[in-house]
Amino acid sequence: MNAVFKALADPTRRRVLELLRTRPMTAGELAEQFPFSKPTMSAHFAVLREADLVDVQKTGKNVIYRLKLSVLEDALLGFAGAFGMSTSVQTADTTRKGATP
């Protein structure tokens, strides 16, 4: 459960989960939504994978991510968003590229 709380503590990772609510997305599609470098996004994805919050499948050249939240984890994500833990992430101007999560 610690891994889940660690994963949900970060607004970028919460935003990734919010994006995956709409549909499965490739790593590239997800990375496009953020002003961070690819290694930074990969590190975020690794944390989500470690917490078993996303499902990863390779199809050809694409790595496809799918949401894999239990009801409790879904509720925790909702609470994190509702109680002041915004899913808005830093913009490219305020974020140093390549910073690790």
Partner 1 sequence: MTARPILRGLALGAAMLAVAAILKFAEHAGFLGPDIAARGIQVVIGLMLAFYANFIPKNLPALREPARASARIQSALRFGGWAFALAGLAYAAIWAWAPLPTAGDVSVAVVATAMVSALGYGIWACRTSAQIGGDPIAD
Query: d(Cα 72, Cα 77) in Å, to the nearest integer?
Result: 9
18 near partner 1, judged by CB under 8 A: no
Q: Does 29 bind partner 1 (CB under 8 A)?
A: yes
Question: Could you tell me the sign of the dihedral formed by the alpha carbons of 78, 79, 82, 87, in that order?
Answer: negative
Site for partner 1 in 33-92 (CB under 8 A): 52, 55, 57, 59, 62, 64, 66-72, 74
How many binding residues for partner 1 (CB under 8 A)? 20
* Helix ranges (DSSP H) in 52-93: 71-82
What residues line the site for partner 1 (CB under 8 A)? 22-26, 29, 52, 55, 57, 59, 62, 64, 66-72, 74
